[in-house]
Amino acid sequence: MGEVEDILKDYEVKKEGEAEILMLASNAVFFNPVQVHNRDMSIAVLRTFVAKRKEEYEELMNKRNNKSNKKGNQVETPVVNGDTALTSQHDEIGVVHEKETNQPTNEIEDLSKEETKTPSRKVTRELKPPIVLEALAASGLRSLRYAREVDGLGKVVALDNDKASIEACKRNIKFNGASAISKVEAHLADARVYMLTHPKEFDVVDLDPYGSPSVFLDSAVQAVADGGLLMCTATDLAVLCGTNGEVCYSKYGSYPVKGKYCHEMALRILLACIESHANRYKRYIVPVLSVYMDFYVRVFVRVFTSASEIKNTPLKLSYVYQCAGCDSFHLQSLGRTVTKNNSLKHAPGIGPVVPQECSDCGKKFNVGGPIWSAPIHDQDWVLSTLTDVRQMKDRYPAYNKITSVLTTVSEVLPWLVSLFCQVLLLMHM
Ligand SMILES: [Zn+2]
C-alpha cells in the first residue's frame, strides 16, 4: 500500500472503462479524452473479432469433420483456447486458395498452408487467444482497456518509441494490478522495426498515430496474422480531403478531389493505400468497418494472404472524375473481368467513362484517385457489433456516440457504393 500512496502523491488517476492510468500534474504524456470514442469503438470491434474468429474456426472444423465422416475417418472435435489437443487433416486448403472468389480465406486455412505439402500428415492445431499489438501506445491506456475489458484476448503488446511514454506505460500496467501485469507488456521500440521483425505474429494490430499512419502501413500489413485485424486511424483529414492534394498523393498514392463526399473519400483513399501495401506481400484486405468520427477517420480491415485474390484488386479500385463546375462525379474502375472460353480473365478498365465536358453544366472534370470503390463495411460485422454494444451499455463510456455511428453505418448504403454498382452494370452491358 505504501508504494501506491507514494505514487498517488505525484499523480492524478484517470479512469476510463476498466482501466486506470496515472497522469503527472504537468501532463507529461499527451492524453486526449476525446479519444474515448475511438477506444470504445475499437473495443466493440475487437469483441466482434474475438466472436467471429471463434465462429469461423468452429465452422471450419465442422466442415472438416463432415468431410472426414464421409471418408469414414475419425471424428474431430473443435476446441477453442486450448482445452484439448486437436487432430486435424489439412487437405482442402489448396482448393480454397485457388478459388477465384471475393470470399476471404480463413486464417486457419492460411496458417495451415505449410501442411498442404504433406496432406497425409496429422497435425495438432488449436485456436489460440488472439494477440494484440498497439504500435504507438503512449500511456498504454488503450492496451490496458483491451486487456481488462475484452474477454478471450491473449497477450497485449504496447510499443512506443519515446522513453518517457514507455516508462509511464510500464507504471500504468503495474498500477492496474495482477491481471494487467500478466497480460500487457510494454517495449521501447520503433514500431516499424518491431512489426517488420515479427511477421504475421499479431492477430490484431492497432495503429493510432497523431497525423498520418502512412509510414507505418508497410510494416503493419506484414505483422498481421492471416485473417487478423488491422485497425488504423488517420487524423490528417485536411490532406485526405483535398487540401494540398499533392501531399496526399505523396503519402497515400492517391489524388483527392474536392467533393461533398470528402470524408468518405478520405476513408476510401486510406483503404486503397492499405490494400496497395498488402498486395506487395501477396495479401489483401477486407474492410469490416470504416468510420469518420470527431476529427479523424478510422478503418478496421482484415488481412488475408492469397496470390490469386490480389488479381482482383484493380476491380476494387477506381479513379474519380469530379466535375469542376457542379456536384456530378463518375467512377472509372481500374480493372474489369471478361469471360473467354468459360474462363475469367482480367483486363484494364474501359474509359473514359465521361465526355470531355460535364453533361450537366458543361465544365471540365478533375481526375482523382485511385480510391477503394468496393464496400467499406461488412454489414454482418456492423450489426453484430451494434447488437453487442447495446447489450453491454454500461461497459462503454462513449455508448451514445458509438451506437449513433454504428446505427448510421448499418442503415445507410453509402451512395458511392450504389453508384459504383451502377457503373459496373453499365460496363458489363
Ligand atoms: Zn458539372
Domain assignment of residue 49, yes or no:
yes
- Grid cell listed for 79: 476446441
The rounded distance, in Å, linking the Cα atoms of 324 and 281 is 38
Please give the sequence-ordered ranges of beta strands (E in DSSP) within 156-247, or none if there are none.
Answer: 156-160, 184-188, 202-207, 224-234
Domain assignment of residue 316, yes or no:
no
Which range, of 31-45, 144-158, 300-314, 317-331, averages the lowest pLDDT?
A: 31-45
Domain assignment of residue 47, yes or no:
yes
Q: How far is the CA of 257 from the centre of ligand 1 (A)?
A: 14
The rounded distance, in Å, linking the Cα atoms of 388 and 308 is 35
Domain assignment of residue 248, yes or no:
yes
Segments forming the whole domain that contains residue 208: 7-58+128-310+371-426
Run of H or E residues at 370:
strand 365-372
- Given a cut of 50, whether residue 263 has pLDDT beyond it is yes
Domain assignment of residue 85, yes or no:
no
Q: How far is the CA of 357 from the centre of ligand 1 (A)?
A: 8
Q: How far is the CA of 359 from the centre of ligand 1 (A)?
A: 7
Q: How far is the CA of 148 from the centre of ligand 1 (A)?
A: 53
Q: How far is the CA of 344 from the centre of ligand 1 (A)?
A: 36
The burial class, CB within 10 Å (0-12 / 13-18 / 19+), for 154 is: middle
Q: How far is the CA of 323 from the centre of ligand 1 (A)?
A: 5
The rounded distance, in Å, linking the Cα atoms of 37 and 292 is 11
Q: How far is the CA of 171 from the centre of ligand 1 (A)?
A: 58
Q: Which of the two residues, 423 and 34, has the higher pLDDT score?
A: 34
Q: How does pLDDT run across 67-119, given as a tens digit for each residue?
A: 888 776 554 444 444 333 333 333 333 233 333 334 444 444 444 444 333 33
Report, as an integer, the average pLDDT of 230-236: 98
Domain assignment of residue 91, yes or no:
no
Report, as an integer, the average pLDDT of 116-143: 76
The rounded distance, in Å, linking the Cα atoms of 26 and 70 is 68
Give pLDDT, residue 295: 92
Please choose, from the candidates 358, 349, 266, the residue with its C-alpha nearest in 3D space to the C-alpha of residue 321.
Answer: 358
- Grid cell listed for 83: 482445452
Q: For position 409, which CATH number holds?
A: 3.40.50.150
Report, as an integer, the average pLDDT of 29-51: 89
Give pLDDT, residue 126: 86
**Collapsing DSSP states into helix, strand and coil, what is residue 11?**
strand
Give pLDDT, residue 73: 54
The rounded distance, in Å, linking the Cα atoms of 299 and 355 is 34
Domain count, the chain: 1
Domain assignment of residue 37, yes or no:
yes
**Residue 289 contacts by C-beta under 8 Å, 6 or more apart in sequence?**
45, 299, 300, 377, 378, 381, 382, 385, 409
Q: How far is the CA of 329 from the centre of ligand 1 (A)?
A: 8
**Collapsing DSSP states into helix, strand and coil, what is residue 295?**
coil
Q: How far is the CA of 322 from the centre of ligand 1 (A)?
A: 8
Domain assignment of residue 40, yes or no:
yes
The rounded distance, in Å, linking the Cα atoms of 340 and 395 is 55
Q: How far is the CA of 248 from the centre of ligand 1 (A)?
A: 24
**CA 391 → CA 46, 384, 403, distances in Å?**
15, 11, 11
